[in-house]
Structure 1
Amino acid sequence: MEQISKTFDGNALVSTGTLAIIAVTCAVYLFYTSYVIPLKLFSKSGIKGPPPTLIVGNLSEFRKGLHDSLVNNRRKYGKVFGTFLGTQPTLWVGDVDILKIIMVKEFHQFPDRVALTKTLPYPIKHSVLFARGEDWKRIRSILTATFSASKLKQIFYIVESACNRCVEKLEALSENEEIADMKVIYGNLTMEVIVASAFGVQLENDPRASKLINYANKIFNSVPTIQLIVALIPSFQPFFRFFFRERQESTTYIANTVKGIIRERRESLKNGTRCNRDLLQLMIEASEDGKMSDDEIVGQAYIFLIAGYETTANTLTYATYLLANHPEVQDKLYKEIDKTYQDKGVIDYESVSELQYLDMVLSETLRIYPPAHAVNRGVSKDVTINGVKLLKSVPVGIPIYGIHHDPDYWPNPEQFRPERFTPEEKQARNPSCYMPFGMGPRNCIGMRLALIEAKLALAKVVKAVEFSAIDKTEIPLKLKAGVTLSPANPVYVGIKKRL
Structure 2
Amino acid sequence: MMLILIWLLVLIATLTIYFWKRYSRFSEYGVKHFSPVPLLGNMTAIVFRFNHFTDQIQSLYDAFPDQSFVGWYEFMKPMIMIKNIELIKKVTIKDFEHFLDHRTIVDEKIDPFFGRNLFSLKGQEWKDMRSTLSPAFTSSKMRLIVPFMVEVGHQMVETLIMKIQQSNTHYIDMDSKDLTTRYANDVIATCAFGLKVDSLREKNNDFYKMGKEASDFNIRKFILFFAANSFPKVMKFLNIQIFKDITKKFFKHIVISTITERESQNIIRPDMIHFLMEAKKGKLLHEEKVTSNYDTGFSAVEESNIGMKKVDKVWSDDDLVAQAILFFIAGFETVSSAMSFTLHELAINPDVQDKLVAEIRENEKRNGGKFDYNSIQNMVYMDMVISEVLRLWPPTLVLDRVCNKVYNIGKAEDSCDKEYIIRKGEGVTIPVWSIHRNPNYYPDPHKFNPERFSEKNKHKIQSFTYLPFGIGPRNCIGSRFALCEIKVMLYQLLKLIEITPNDRTVIPVKLCKQSFNLSIKGGHWVRMKIRQ
Q: TM-score, normalised by structure 1?
A: 0.88
Deviations 1:380-416 (A, max 9, x none): 2333346443502431111111111111111111000
Secondary structure of the residue aligned to 1:89 is strand
Deviations 1:275-328 (A, max 9, x none): 312111111122123532211111110111111011111111101100110111
Q: Residue 486 of structure 1: CA displacement?
A: 3.0
> Contact 2:174–2:525 at 8 Å: present in 1 too?
yes
Select 2:523's aligned residue among 490, 494, 498. 490
> Contact 1:371–1:486 at 8 Å: present in 2 too?
no
Which residue in the other structure is 2:82 paired with?
93
Select 1:224's aligned residue among 199, 206, 219. 219
In 2: Cα distance, 1:480 partner to 1:390 partner = 37
Which residue in the other structure is 2:417 paired with?
none
In 1: Cα distance, 2:120 partner to 2:239 partner = 24
Change (3 A) 1:245 1:402: closer
Which residue in the other structure is 2:365 paired with?
342
Q: Residue 93 of structure 1: CA displacement?
A: 1.0
Which residue in the other structure is 2:39 paired with?
55
**What percentage of aligned pairs have identical amino acids?**
27
Deviations 1:89-112 (A, max 9, x none): 111112222111111222112111
RMSD: 2.8
Which residue in the other structure is 1:9 paired with?
none
In 2: Cα distance, 1:238 partner to 1:212 partner = 32
Which residue in the other structure is 2:471 paired with?
439
Which residue in the other structure is 2:378 paired with?
354
Deviations 1:51-85 (A, max 9, x none): 11011111123341111211122111235221111
For 1:108-257, list aligned pairs within 5 A: 108-116=97-105, 121-175=111-165, 176=167, 177-203=171-197, 210-221=205-216, 223-225=218-220, 227-228=222-223, 230-231=227-228, 235=234, 247-257=244-254
Select 2:71's aligned residue among 58, 82, 91. 82
> Contact 1:404–1:410 at 8 Å: present in 2 too?
yes
Select 2:29's aligned residue among 45, 70, 85. 45
In 1: Cα distance, 2:243 partner to 2:92 partner = 36
Secondary structure of the residue aligned to 1:479 is coil
Which residue in the other structure is 2:277 paired with?
284
For 1:322-471, list aligned pairs within 5 A: 322-345=345-368, 346-385=370-409, 387-388=411-412, 389-392=420-423, 393-471=425-503
In 2: Cα distance, 1:301 partner to 1:412 partner = 40
- Kindly provide the amino acid, as one letter, of the partner of residue 19 in structure 2: Y
In 2: Cα distance, 1:283 partner to 1:479 partner = 37
Deviations 1:103-158 (A, max 9, x none): 12221121111135666622111111011111111110121101111112222221
| Structure showing greater Rg | 1
Q: Residue 360 of structure 1: CA displacement?
A: 0.4
In 2: Cα distance, 1:222 partner to 1:325 partner = 27
Secondary structure of the residue aligned to 1:84 is strand
Which residue in the other structure is 1:305 paired with?
328
Change (3 A) 1:227 1:358: closer
Change (3 A) 1:128 1:33: farther
Deviations 1:156-208 (A, max 9, x none): 22111011112223323433222111111111111111111211222159x9x
Secondary structure of the residue aligned to 2:154 is helix
Select 2:60's aligned residue among 73, 85, 93. 73
Change (3 A) 1:226 1:497: closer
Change (3 A) 1:227 1:322: closer
Change (3 A) 1:68 1:264: same
Q: Residue 462 of structure 1: CA displacement?
A: 1.4
**297-306 or 460-469, larger mean C-alpha shift:** 460-469
> Contact 2:192–2:328 at 8 Å: present in 1 too?
yes
Q: TM-score, normalised by structure 2?
A: 0.83
* Unpaired stretches in structure 1, ≥5 consecutive residues: 1-12
Aligned residues: 475
Change (3 A) 1:394 1:42: same
> Contact 1:372–1:484 at 8 Å: present in 2 too?
no
Change (3 A) 1:108 1:236: closer
In 2: Cα distance, 1:317 partner to 1:488 partner = 13
Say which structure is richer in helix.
1
- Kindly provide the amino acid, as one letter, of the partner of residue 423 in structure 1: E
In 1: Cα distance, 2:512 partner to 2:100 partner = 28
Q: Residue 440 of structure 1: CA displacement?
A: 1.1
Q: Residue 35 of structure 1: CA displacement?
A: 3.2
> Contact 1:372–1:436 at 8 Å: present in 2 too?
yes
Secondary structure of the residue aligned to 2:150 is helix
Which residue in the other structure is 2:264 paired with?
267
